[in-house]
Every structure is written in C-alpha cells, then in structure tokens.
Chains A and B, each alone.
Chain A
Amino acid sequence: MLLIRCPYCEEERPELEFRNAGEAHIARSANIAGESDDDFEKFFFIRSNPKGIIYERWRHMHGCARFFNAVRDTVTDKFVMTYKAGEPKPSKLPGAAK
C-alpha cells in the first residue's frame, strides 16, 4: 500500500484514506460566460496527461478531509512531494534529476 504524506495531518497515511481529484493548478476563468468555446474546452476537458511528473489534487477523504496538491511520477507511481492547497507549484522538486 502506498503511503501518502498529508500536509495538514503532517504525516504519512495509508492510500485507502485518500481520493484523487484530478490535475492541479487549473485556474477557472473569472469570466467563464465570456470564454470562447475553444478556451472553455481547454479548461474543461484538456488535461496534460504526461508520462512522468504530474501535479495533482488529492483529498484526504477519510482523514482530515482537506484537499491538497501532490507531485507524482506517473511511471513509477511514486509521490515526489505534497503541499497545501493554494500554495504555488513548487519550482524545484526534491531529488529531481531533470
């Protein structure tokens, strides 16, 4: 079982307590009604789906119930780091080779 560090509980907890909540850092337009269909499609449907490092939202559903962000490698399925919701994308990842 994966252990995921919850930044609010400040410890690693079993993955069964968590839920994935899709890609992180997707900002909703302040004027959603004024968006063109193409822009809305990009915001609503298009996700990066990378092979490698991905920034995701996770929720500690059966714990503190808070949403937070996590950096995960989609190849190894390993969590690189987690950080609180609302915090900016980390500029440097711990132990990242590239």
Chain B
Amino acid sequence: MAKAAAKKATTVATPSVERRPALIGRSTTAPSVKVEILPPAERISLRAPEASVAALSKALGLTLPKKPKTSALKAGRTALWLGPDEWLVIDEAGNDPLADCTGVSALHSAVGISHRNIAISVAGTGAAATINSGCPQDLSLETFPVGAASRTILGKTEIVLLRTADNAFRVECWRSFSDYVFTFLSEGARDAAV
C-alpha cells in the first residue's frame, strides 16, 4: 500500500506543488474597517543567542530588532521581535529567508513556517477597535506605534500583531485557527462600526 502511495505521489508531483492557502481571497467590509486575507508569504521562526544576531542580520539583509515590541522592515522583509532570543521573519517579496540562513555558521535555529501561518489585514479607522474586540492590549498609537509588533491573544487564540500604519494591522495566526480568527475579526469589524 505504501508502495502504491509512493508511486501515485511521484506521478502527481507537479500538481501537488500547488499551494492552497487557507481562506484565500476572503474579505469582509464594514463601514469603518476592512478585514482581508493577505496573499501567502515566506516565514521563518528564528531563535538565536545575542552573539549570533549580527551574523544573522547580515544574512537576512536587515537588522534584527533587539527592543521589545518592535520590528524592522526592509525590502519587503519584516523581522518581528517576539522574545529576547526569538523573531518571526516574514518575507512578502518572494525570497525565502530560510535559504538566506543556511549559510550562517553562528548558532541559531531557523524553522520554515510559511505554511503554518496565514496573515489577515485589518485596515481602516476602526482597525484598532476591531482587534480590541478580542485582544486585551492597549493599541493606542502612544503604546502601540506604527512598526510595533507583539505576540498576544485574540479571543481564544494566539496571534502575532503588527501595526503597519496608523490605521492598519497585520494579524498572523496559525492556519488551523484562521477560520476562527477571520470570523472573530469580521464580527469585531461589524461591532467597531457601531
């Protein structure tokens, strides 16, 4: 049976490469906010000690942020500070950050999670109110300015939140939670409009 499966897998190798991202193309529009699934991106989860940060920054082509709740953006690639030795690197320009890390000899752990996460854009004047419908963090511009990034929670699930503009956020969540998160944000958007 395993043999048959393997044979079948080789014959359909080309179509299986096709990527089928969750919820792709879905969006909800409310009077003050639009919630939209973003196109697929390349992502890695990066863990590294202080001593490796410089080498990894060089390989990735951007400076890994060292300050809590911050991010760095350069040429379509964003590095989000998640913890003292942990970053989420998202590349929307189609270059794989995992490949860039392979040549680095400094101690680090880079794990490709491109397919684990999906991203949702929440944009509009009611964006903060929409996310605050399930996220307890203070999202005012003073405490969560543009470029601020944080792992936090939304309702029952964990998300990674990035403020991309005054009235726009990128919400990253696990693929298996995407239906819940998208529906939650859609409901939040409706409430934010009131």
Contacts and interface: CB of A to CB of B under 8 A. Distances in A.
Q: What is the size category of the interface that chain A forms with chain B?
A: 10 to 19
Given A9-B68, A17-B153, A62 B84 contact: no
B69 A9 contact: yes
Contacts, number: 39
A14 B151 CA distance: 12
Contacts of A9: 68-69, 150
Contact of B84 (A1, A8, A13, A17): A8
Interface residues of B, number: 14
Contacts of B68: 8-11, 64
B108 to A, nearest CB: 17
Contacts of B84: 8, 64, 66
Contacts of B158: 62
A76 to B, nearest CB: 21
A64 B150 CA distance: 8
Interface of B: 68-69, 82-84, 86, 136-137, 143, 150-153, 158
